[in-house]
Structures are given as structure tokens and as C-alpha cells.
Amino acid sequence: MGRSDSLKRIAEMTGLSVPTVVQVLGTRGHRYRQETREKVQEAAAQIGYRPNAAARALNKGRFGSAAILCGANPWLNLLPQMLVDGIMDELEARNMHLTMARLSNDRLNQEDELPKVLRQWMADGLLINYNTEIPQQMQQYVKQYHLPAIWLNSKHDYDCVHPDDYGAGQQITENLLKLGHRRIAYADYNKGMIDPSWHQVHYSTHDRAAGYRDTMQAAGLSPREIRSMDNTGEKHRLEYSIKWLGESDRPTAVIANGLHIGMAVWQAALKLQIKVPADMSIVAIGHGSYGDTHMGLNTWIVPEYSEGREAVKLLCQKIQQPDVELPPAAVTYDCVRDGITLGPAPGL
């Protein structure tokens, strides 16, 4: 049964006109009562009718979809589940769907190997999940193919969305200052912060530390950043944490860049018989997608879900005005996971 015959059949079954059936099954269904929509959808299901997205795209010049482009290296293209959920929920609210594509660095020089989402017009806009070490040629392709695009979780002069990591470092430090802490340390065992030759560093590594550092200096206090030139791995985090916590100038509060570092500091404190939080508080910055692995660690959660929804909103603006450069959007941290590692400064 052809499309026109199917629509006539649904109209006969529901007692509605064909134009009404077309609108209910199309993009104007929200204008009709729920009872009418359900009647049309039930009739369509009975005869096995499905709207033709390709025909709709030809008629309207829109696919009703966004594409997300990822790299092949998971370490350089973090795509947490909460971020995906935010993207999907915002797309669903706009009656759109998602297409996914992957592009690895070794294919950047082979134009005929590019994913179809770049070579062919098959989505209304593109979300680019290329976070770290973004190849210059990748950025050139985005411009070359003129597809409305928003960069995810990376910083650019325009057309990007990312968490406000500077603000997170700033706000966590301010909260600790309000609790009376003055000896506040920032722990990040990331080699790239002190070794310029190490390039695999996400912008957030610098921004969170800068937020902490600037807030400490504004309060007239000296920042103390705990770092390791060896890019301390999982096996050595505890040992390294025990080493610096055992020194005489131990802080009363530690901000950990990552749940893994926060847990290492906490375990080290237990081995050194440092009471948490009575003697020392620990606050981490981490991803909510990791479930309950924090084990009671007070954590500022990266706003992955909010970032996903904001990215789709910006992309829809870009689709409507593809030649307009949108200012970067920094998404505020909107969730703090309570735990048992945060308290007032000792003696208060």
C-alpha cells in the first residue's frame, strides 16, 4: 500500500480528513487534542504505516536529526552517558533524533574515507565530540562542508559548549573559605600541568586549577598545588598521597581534580590516622556517570546532562542561522553530591 493510499485508509478509519491525518502524523500533531492524536496513531499502527522521513526531508529541507561525530580514541573523546541522555532528551523534546558517526585521526588525510555525515548532507546539524588534541584538519573539514556545528566539551572562540570548570574551582574554594579553611591544597597528579611537552591535557585541567588559584590569591592566601612530574598512575596514587600528606605543612582541606585522586587522598589520610573531616576535609570534582564509586566522597558533579541539553539548543540556533557565530556557552555546575568528607576547619 502506497503512502497516499495509507493516509486515505487512516482517514477512513478515524473519520478525519486526509489533511488532518497528514498534520497529526507530521510536525503539527501537537496542535490537536490528545484523543485525536491517539486515534490516528492507533489506526496507523493497525495498518503498519510509518511516516517517511526521507520524503519529509525533501519537502521541508530538514531531516529532523542531529549527528554526533566522535573520534576513535576514547581517552580523547569522552562521551559520558549523562551527556548522551541530555542530548537525547532535548532532541526528543524538539521531535528530532540522533545519528552517530566516528572519525579516527588516521583517516583525516583520506577524504573518501570521511564518514557520510561529512561527505553527504544527511543531518541538520553536527555535534562534535572531539575534546582533546583536535587536529587542525578536523576543524578545516567542519568549515569546508558548511554543516552547522557545535563543539562539545572543548573551548573555541565560538560555537562551543563546555562545563564552567573555572567557576567550579572558584566556587569550591569559596565554600571551603566560608568553612574557615585557610590551608587549602589543590591535588592533580597530571603530568601535563607542569610538563609543556605533554599535550594530552583537557582544558578543564587548567581551568579548575586557575579558579582555585585566583580565589586563594583574592583572599590573600597562598595557593598550594600538589603535582607529580611522573603523571602518577593508579598503582602509585596512594603512595604519592601518603608522601605529601605526611609532611609537616599538611593542609586542612584538599580539592581533588578527579574522584580517583580524591579517593587516594582519603585512603592516605586513613593510613596516616588523619581524621576526615575533623582534621582534614576532601572535596573532589568528578563525573556523575561513575555511579557510587565515590564511597561517601563530597563531589562536585560535572554538569554532563545540562551540557547535552544546552548543546542541542545551541545547535538548533545554528541550524536556523548557520552563518552566525554563537558565543561560547559555559554550563554552570548544578549538582553537588553530599558525602562525609567535608567539614569546618579544625578548631571551629
* C-alpha Rg value of the chain to the nearest Å: 26
> Which segments of 208-267 are extended strands (E)?
224-226, 253-257
What is the rounded CA–CA span in Å between residue 108 and residue 113?
8
| H helical segments located in the chain | 3-14, 18-25, 34-46, 53-60, 81-93, 116-119, 136-144, 165-178, 203-218, 234-245, 259-271, 304-320
Cis preceding-peptide flag for 277 (omega within 30 of 0): yes
Q: Considering all CA atoms of the chain, what is the largest pairwise distance in Å, rounded to the nearest integer?
A: 85
Q: Where are the domains of the chain?
A: 3-48, 65-162+305-331, 165-302
Whether residue 184 contacts residue 253, with contact meaning beta carbons closer than 8 Å, is answered with: yes
CA distances, 252 to each of 214, 237, 339, 340 (Å): 19, 20, 17, 15
What is the rounded CA–CA span in Å between residue 50 and residue 248?
71
Q: Which residues pair with 101 in a beta bridge?
A: 69
- Cβ neighbours of residue 84 closer than 8 Å, sequence gap 6 or more: 308
What is the rounded CA–CA span in Å between residue 3 and residue 13?
15
Q: Which residues pair with 129 in a beta bridge?
A: 70
Whether residue 192 contacts residue 76, with contact meaning beta carbons closer than 8 Å, is answered with: no
b/e 25-37 (16+ beta carbons within 10 angstroms → b)? beeeeeebeeebe
According to DSSP, residue 93 is labeled H
Helix, strand, coil distribution of the chain in percent, nearest 5: 45, 15, 40
Q: What is the pLDDT of residue 182?
A: 97
Whether residue 96 contacts residue 62, with contact meaning beta carbons closer than 8 Å, is answered with: no
CATH class held by domain 165-302 = alpha beta
Whether residue 322 contacts residue 123, with contact meaning beta carbons closer than 8 Å, is answered with: no
In CATH terms, are 65-162+305-331 and 165-302 the same topology?
Answer: yes
Tell me which of 3.60.150.10, 3.90.79.10, 3.40.50.720, 3.40.50.2300 is the CATH number of domain 65-162+305-331.
3.40.50.2300
What is the rounded CA–CA span in Å between residue 243 and residue 228?
11
What is the rounded CA–CA span in Å between residue 88 and residue 83?
9
What is the rounded CA–CA span in Å between residue 270 and residue 279?
11
SS3 assignment, position 338? coil
- Cβ neighbours of residue 156 closer than 8 Å, sequence gap 6 or more: 328
pTM of the model: 0.78
Q: pLDDT tens digits for the chain (348 residues)?
A: 566 778 888 888 899 988 888 777 765 666 788 888 888 888 888 887 766 554 454 444 466 889 888 776 666 677 888 999 999 999 999 888 888 877 665 555 555 555 555 555 567 888 988 877 676 777 777 777 677 899 999 899 999 999 999 999 999 999 999 999 999 999 998 755 544 444 567 889 899 999 999 999 999 999 999 987 565 566 788 999 999 999 989 999 999 999 999 999 999 999 999 999 999 999 999 987 655 556 799 999 999 999 999 999 999 999 988 889 999 999 999 899 999 999 999 987
Mode of pairing for the β-strands spanning 65-71 and 329-331: unpaired
Q: What is the pLDDT of residue 61?
A: 47
DSSP-assigned letters across all residues of 110-140: -GGGS-HHHHS--SSEEEEE--SS--HHHHH
